C-alpha cells in the first residue's frame, strides 16, 4: 500500500483533478470566508459612522441600544439558518459547494470507473501489487487530497475571519463548530467513498453514474415519503417529531447536520466505514472479464433490482404527491401508487438485468 510506484501511478491519473479540487476549495471556503470578513467589517464601520448616528437620533424610541448593536455584530454561528439578529457566515451558500460535490465524485470515478471504461485496469491488475494495496492506495490518496484541500482552505479563511472580528464579538458554541466542520468534511469523504464503492460493483461507467445519482439523492425523497406516511397514519402526532430525522437523510450535504447533533454525525461515520470496507471487499474479487456489464457480480442482481425499484417507487410517489390535491394525498392512494410503482420498476429491472441482450452474463 505504501509502494512509491503505486502512489505515483495513482497520482498521475488524477493529479489535474486534485489541483482543480484544491483551487475550488480555496475559492469556495477561503474566498467565501474572506468575503464574510469584509461583510462584518462593513457592518462594523457602518455602526461607527456619522450616518448611523444621525439615523439613531432621528429614530427616537426605535433606535438601537449598544447591546443591540453588539448582538448584530456577534459571530455566533458558522452557517446560515439561525436567528438573523446575530452575524453568521454565508460562505456555505455559494454555488461552488455544489461544484465541489460533483468534483469529488469525478475524482472517485477517475480512480475506478474511468479506469475500467478505458481498459486501463487490465494493465493495473497485471502489475505486481496486491489488490488490497491498490484499492487502499486509491482510498488513501482520495482521503488525503480532500482532507488537505478542505483543511488548508478552511484554515486560511478562518484565520482571516478571526483576524478581522475582535474576540469580544465572538461567541461560538465549539461543539457546533467541530460537528459542523468535521461533518462537512465527512460529507465530501462519503461522496468519494460511495463513488469508489459503486465503481467496484459496476462494470460500466453509465450504470455507475446512474447508481450514484440514486444513492445520493434518494435519502431525501425517502424521508419525504416516510414523513407523509407517518402523518397520515398518526395525524395526532406533531410534525416536529418527524422533522428530527431530517439530518439523518442529509449525510451527503454540506451542513446537512443542521441541528449539530451527534446522532447524524455518527451515522455518517458508520456509512463511511461500511462503504470503505465494501470497496476493499469487492475490488479484491473483481474480474476484468466483467468490464462492460451493468453489474460486475451476478449475485448482486436481486438486491440491486430491489433497491433500484424501491428508489424508483419513492421518486414516482414524490412526483405524484407534488401534483396531488391541495388537501394532500390520501392514505389509500399513497399505498396504491407506492406499491404499483415498485412492482413496475421491478419488472423493468428484471427485463434489463435478465432479458436484455446488451447485459453480458
Indicate the domain borders of the chain: 4-296
Q: For the residues 179-204, what does the mean pLDDT come to?
A: 88
Contacts of 43 (CB under 8 A, 6+ apart): 72, 73, 87
Instruction: Provide the pLDDT for residue 151.
Output: 93
- For residue 190, pLDDT beyond 80: yes
Tell me how far apart the alpha carbons of residues 186 and 192 are, in angstroms, rounded to a whole number: 10
Q: Are 294 and 353 in contact (CB under 8 A)?
A: yes
Identify which of 279, 312, 74 has the alpha carbon closest to the alpha carbon of residue 194: 279
Residue 122 pLDDT level (bands cut at 50, 70, 90): low
Task: Tell me which of 56-70, 192-206, 257-271 is least confident.
Answer: 56-70
CA 257, 263, 269, 273 torsion-angle sign: negative
* Percentage, residues of the chain above pLDDT 90: 16
Q: For the residues 113-121, what does the mean pLDDT come to?
A: 70
Task: Tell me which of 72-76, 231-235, 348-352 is least confident.
Answer: 231-235
pTM over 0.75: yes
Instruction: Provide the pLDDT for residue 55.
Output: 79
Q: Are 100 and 188 in contact (CB under 8 A)?
A: yes
Residue 356 pLDDT level (bands cut at 50, 70, 90): low
Instruction: Provide the pLDDT for residue 188.
Output: 92
Cα distances from 183 to residues 180, 213, 252, 265, in angstroms, run: 5, 21, 10, 6
- For residue 184, pLDDT beyond 70: yes
pLDDT tens digits, one per residue of 233-268: 766 665 555 566 677 777 887 777 777 788 888 989
Residue 357 pLDDT level (bands cut at 50, 70, 90): very low
Q: Which three cell numbers stand for residue 73?
A: 455584530
pLDDT tens digits, one per residue of 31-62: 888 988 898 888 888 888 888 888 777 777 67
Q: For the residues 19-33, what does the mean pLDDT come to?
A: 91
Residue 159 pLDDT level (bands cut at 50, 70, 90): very high
* Percentage, residues of the chain above pLDDT 70: 82
Amino acid at each position: 500500500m505504501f509502494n512509491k510506484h503505486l502512489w505515483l501511478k495513482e497520482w498521475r491519473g488524477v493529479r489535474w483533478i486534485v489541483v482543480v479540487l484544491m483551487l475550488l476549495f480555496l475559492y469556495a471556503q477561503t474566498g467565501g470566508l474572506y468575503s464574510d470578513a469584509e461583510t462584518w467589517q462593513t457592518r462594523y464601520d457602518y455602526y461607527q459612522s456619522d450616518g448611523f448616528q444621525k439615523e439613531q437620533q432621528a429614530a427616537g424610541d426605535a433606535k438601537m441600544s449598544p447591546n443591540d448593536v453588539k448582538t448584530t455584530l456577534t459571530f455566533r454561528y458558522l452557517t446560515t439558518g439561525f436567528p438573523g439578529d446575530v452575524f453568521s457566515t454565508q460562505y456555505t451558500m455559494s454555488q461552488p459547494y455544489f461544484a465541489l460535490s460533483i468534483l469529488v465524485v469525478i475524482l472517485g470515478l477517475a480512480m475506478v470507473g474511468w479506469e475500467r471504461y478505458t481498459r486501463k485496469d487490465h494493465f493495473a491488475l497485471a502489475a505486481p501489487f496486491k489488490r488490497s494495496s491498490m484499492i487502499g492506495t486509491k482510498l488513501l490518496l482520495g482521503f488525503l487530497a480532500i482532507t488537505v484541500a478542505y483543511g488548508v482552505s478552511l484554515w486560511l479563511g478562518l484565520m482571516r475571519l478571526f483576524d478581522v472580528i475582535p474576540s469580544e464579538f465572538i461567541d461560538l458554541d465549539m461543539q457546533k463548530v467541530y460537528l459542523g466542520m468535521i461533518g462537512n468534511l465527512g460529507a465530501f469523504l462519503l461522496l468519494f467513498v460511495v463513488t469508489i464503492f459503486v465503481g467496484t460493483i459496476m462494470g460500466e461507467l453509465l450504470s455507475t453514474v446512474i447508481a450514484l445519482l440514486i444513492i445520493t439523492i434518494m435519502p431525501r425523497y425517502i424521508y419525504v415519503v416516510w414523513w407523509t406516511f407517518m402523518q397520515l397514519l398518526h395525524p395526532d402526532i406533531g410534525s416536529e417529531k418527524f422533522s428530527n430525522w431530517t439530518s439523518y437523510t442529509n449525510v451527503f450535504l454540506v451542513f446537512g447536520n443542521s441541528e449539530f447533533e451527534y446522532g447524524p454525525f455518527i451515522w455518517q461515520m458508520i456509512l463511511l466505514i461500511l462503504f470503505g470496507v465494501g470497496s476493499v471487499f469487492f475490488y479484491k474479487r473483481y474480474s476484468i472479464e466483467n468490464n462492460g456489464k451493468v453489474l460486475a457480480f451476478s449475485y448482486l442482481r436481486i438486491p440491486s433490482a430491489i433497491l433500484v425499484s424501491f428508489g424508483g417507487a419513492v421518486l414516482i410517489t414524490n412526483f405524484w404527491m407534488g401534483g396531488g390535491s391541495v388537501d394532500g394525498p390520501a392514505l389509500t392512494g399513497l399505498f396504491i401508487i407506492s406499491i404499483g410503482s415498485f412492482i413496475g420498476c421491478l419488472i423493468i429491472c428484471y427485463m434489463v438485468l435478465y432479458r436484455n441482450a446488451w447485459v453480458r452474463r
